[in-house]
Structure 1
Amino acid sequence: MNAYKWHGHAMKRAAVLAGCVSLVLGVTAAGTAQAGPARDLARQVLPAGDGWASEGAGTTGGSAADAAHVHTVTTWAEFKAALADGGTGPRIIKVKGMLDAVSEGCDALAAEGYDFQQYLADYDPAVWGHDTPVSGEQEDLRAASAANQDRMIKASVPADTTIVGVGRNSGIRGGSLQIRGVDNVIVRNLTIEAPLDCFPQWDPTDDNRTGAWNSEYDGVVVYGSTHVWIDHNTLTDGRYPDSSLPEYFGKVYQQHDGLLDVVRGANHVTVSWNSFEDHDKTMLIGNSDGAGSTDAGKLKVTLHHNRFEGIVERAPRVRFGQVDSYNNHFVVTAGQKFGYVFGIGASSQLHATHNAFSLAPGVSTGKVLKKWSEAPLTAAHNYVNGKLTDLIAVHNAEIPGETLQSGAGWTPTLRTRVDHPRAVPGIVDHRAGAGRIC
């Protein structure tokens, strides 16, 4: 690996400190390091060469905002007002403390007449069956209630915006950041607790006509947007892990969707130094096999130095995109539900190298990869429990019905450095997540 600098165990401390170098030195508008004291976190930009979001003009967010367009917010209402204020110019929004998007609770969002117990009675499979989708008064009222929540918790992020948490304990509970159809956005240093869908829909025809509860709302959605930097955040189910959710009709009352989705022609995104924790469907890159007219040639995403623990699947699942995943640490603990890490989807070109996997005893290495469609990938120099492992070869040996082909057909160039995978757990575990920008 001559193109990049490697750091061995003897350099572990230096490598950890290197994770902060661009913040300690500061960065210019062009993304290059400069000497002197660290700049205001809200004024920092993505360094040059740091993943797909550094392509072209790079990602500067709201770093050029004038004083009139720098907001400090302490409530969800203030946050949404700050996003809407100031026309089309750059803006900085500093989030101070935890903003609760559903502070009044789910009951406050329910449409008049909606009764969950009546909903259960009306659509019990013993009454409704599994042949047709639900309909009728209670379903209409559930949909109206869901629309109330949609309006409350979604926050549209405009172009040329930086959103940054103040200190170690700031973030958003139950809100959904919608980065839709815009360019040049930075989101950093936030703890984001995944939205809890107050009104999931029962679909009796789902899951081979055994039924399933389907939920809406992702923590962060990058939809048709370009040049987006998601950095040093913690994204988690937080107070409401799936293990706490009840069951109805023999199925988990699923109230979570994704943590971070990149979809609908979004492009040039860097996801770095985040902690993804305790979630099922974590990250979707490309949302439909049939979206080739929108997604082909786009969905270029870099994932580096992120930590994933307690994740069931989609870390990420990829369609169409040229996704570069390197120096991430994936942790699968004993007893947790686990499906896969990388999902290989339609026309994807995943390049996954120099990652570290810490798998509990009994967890199959072959399940790290999951084949959904025929699409070659590159998966080299990955270490499982400290040992160099050919993920494709192990997968093909353990799961012969899902044979994967090697060779994504491209080589990433937008990388600032690559750490040795054996050093990655120590580096990433100390630096990834909110409150850990030095």
Structure 2
Amino acid sequence: MRHTTNVRTAALVAGVIALTGTAVSGVAAAAPAPAVVGNGGGHTLNAAPTDLVGWATQGGGTTGGGGTAPITVNSASALTSALSASAASVIRVSGTISCSGMLKVASNKTVLGNSGATISGCGFNISQASNVIVRNLTFRNWNDDAVNVQYSTRVWIDHNSFSNGKDGAVDIKRASDYVTVSWNKVSSHDKTMLLGHDDGNGGEDRGHLRVTYHHNWFDGTNQRHPRVRFGNPVHVYNNFYGGVGSYGVASTEGAGVLVEGNYFENTKDPYHLGEGDSGPGTLVARNNHFVNSGSGQSGGSVASIPYSYSLDTASNVKSVVTASAGAGRISV
């Protein structure tokens, strides 16, 4: 069952905090969040970016190539050329494209997979770009990252499938901001989603790295779901963690992470503070559902969430996410 809360009520709870962006205490953060029906939970979506929720709605929003007439590519050379072109464009990927390394993605792009579209052996480098959408693609066997976002803003990574890569599935770093990662499936993979690449990069990253992760399916993956440095608030809600090996969410190096309404199954360490040599951040956990899983570690305060969103009841998240996450679940 999907439930909503009134934006005005939540604003009263947050008070001036919502206007100033100052930290929300663990108690205040446990108040109902702003919400509005319509993030596409459990339903087949169309190809238009009408179901965007989260941080990628901020800073002017994320529209990608907009209404530009689409072009279709079915080779590595054609894809490379289309991704790096300076003009706004909608790029449809057809068939399996085999490649290596990282393909540069320029600003104002929508990259949309046709049915069964696969990127094999390489990844996308969204660097010094803005207003980029990547949807409905299967990435496998990449030899660096599948999607790397750096020095970029207003990015939406939605309804993709990731498996068997070398490094990160979706890594976001170097002062990137206003990003939503939604309805993706990751399986047969170790290092899943890194947010903030290095403990020493706080000078660039503080005040940025604001990302929403929602309705993703982590299917037997190992770590970094996500591993967060510096970003505050980072919003992790309505994701399904099934059989996660090492840990779910880690908040480190002063990050502030809200972990809300997720379903953890057979996951001994759902979330914690600090990771490896990285010092702790803060983490507020609320309304999560646990099946044969640990209880997690939380503490401290997190800045308020500025956007409206709809929250699925945590006990329903497994069925909602497994029915709709990953490539091939949207109409193109």
TM-score past 0.5 threshold: yes
Please state if 1:369 is matched with 2:272.
yes
Deviation track 1:176-203 (CA, whole Å, cap 9, x = no partner) reads 100001100000000011413xxxxxxx
Q: Which amino acid in 2 is paired with 1:193?
A: R
1:3 Cα shift? Answer: 2.3
Contact residue 266 and residue 299 of structure 1 kept, 8 A: yes
The yes-or-no answer on 1:163 pairing with 2:161 is: no
Indicate whether 1:426 and 2:331 are aligned. no
Distance 1:4 1:314 in 2: 32
Cα separation, 1, equivalents of 2:88 and 2:40: 31
Tell me which residue corresponds to 1:45: 49
2:33 corresponds to which residue?
Answer: none
Identity of aligned residues (%): 34
Alignment-derived partner of residue 417 in structure 1: 310
Residues 93, 290 of structure 1: alpha-carbon distance in 2 compared, 3 angstrom cutoff: same
Q: Please report how far the alpha carbon of residue 376 of structure 1 lies from its aligned counterpart in structure 2 after TM superposition.
A: 1.7
Aligned to 2:284: 378
Distance between the aligned counterparts of 2:39 and 2:126, measured in 1? 31
Q: Letter of the aligned partner of 1:61 in structure 2?
A: G
CA contact (8 A) 1:194 1:218 kept: no
Give the whole-Å Cα distance in 2 for the aligned partners of 1:96 and 1:81: 15
* 1:93 matched to 2:91: yes
Task: Report how many aligned residue pairs link the two structures.
Answer: 296
The superposition leaves residues 320-365 of structure 1 with CA deviations (integer Å, 9 ceiling, x where unpaired) of 11210000000017xxxx2111112101111111000111xxx53x
Aligned match for 1:405, one of 299, 318, 330: 299
AA of the residue aligned to 2:132? V
Distance 1:176 1:56, change over 3 A: same
The answer to whether the 8 A contact 1:156-1:177 is kept is: yes
From the superposition, tell whether residues 261 and 194 of structure 1 become closer, same or farther in structure 2 (CA, over 3 Å): farther
Is residue 148 of structure 2 the alignment partner of residue 221 of structure 1? Answer: yes
* Corresponding residue to 1:54 among 53, 57, 65: 57
Match of 1:341 in 2: 248
SS in 2 for 1:281: coil
CA distance in 1, matches of 2:259, 2:195: 14
Q: Aligned with 2:319: secondary structure?
A: helix
Give yes or no for the alignment of 1:82 onto 2:86.
no
**Structure 2: which 5+ runs fail to align?**
8-36
Highest relative contact order (Cα 8 Å, sep 6+), 1 or 2?
A: 2
Which residue number corresponds to residue 175 of structure 1?
122
Give 2:260's match in structure 1, choosing from 320, 345, 353.
353
Q: 1:427 to 1:2 in 2, by over 3 A?
A: closer
Instruction: Assess if the C-alpha contact under 8 Å between 2:130 and 2:153 holds in 1.
Output: yes
Partner residue in 2 for 1:149: none
Contact 1:46 1:59 (C-alpha < 8 Å) held by counterparts: no
One-letter amino acid matched to 2:318: P
Partner Cα separation in structure 1 for residue 4 and residue 138 of structure 2: 37
Counterparts of 2:162 and 2:83, CA distance in 1? 21
Task: Write out per-residue CA displacement over residues 401-430 of structure 1, whole angstroms, 9 at most, x where no aligned residue.
Answer: xxx52422x232424310000010000000
Secondary structure in structure 2 of the residue aligned to 1:291: helix
Paired AA for residue 405 in structure 1: G
1:369/1:391 contact within 8 Å kept: yes
TM-score (norm. length: structure 2): 0.83
Name structure 1 gaps, 5 residues minimum: 6-13, 25-40, 102-151, 197-216, 239-255, 393-403
Shift of residue 367 of structure 1? 5.6
Q: Secondary structure at the match of 1:436?
A: coil
Q: Does the CA-based 8 Å contact 2:39-2:51 persist in structure 1?
A: no
Counterpart AA for 1:3: T
Q: Could you tell me which residue of structure 1 aligns to residue 199 of structure 2?
A: 289
Any conservation in 1 of the 2:262–2:287 contact (CA below 8 Å)?
A: yes
What CA RMSD, in Å, does the superposition of the two structures yield over aligned residues?
A: 2.5
AA of the residue aligned to 2:158 = D
Structure 2 residue corresponding to 1:187, chosen from 106, 121, 134: 134
Contact 2:102 2:145 in 1 (8 A): no
Q: Deviations over 1:281-331 (max 9, x none)?
A: 111100111111100000000001110012111111000112100000000
Q: TM-score, normalised by structure 1?
A: 0.63
Amino acid at match of 1:174: G
Residues 4 and 316 from structure 1, CA distance in 2 versus in 1: closer, same or farther, beyond 3 angstroms? farther
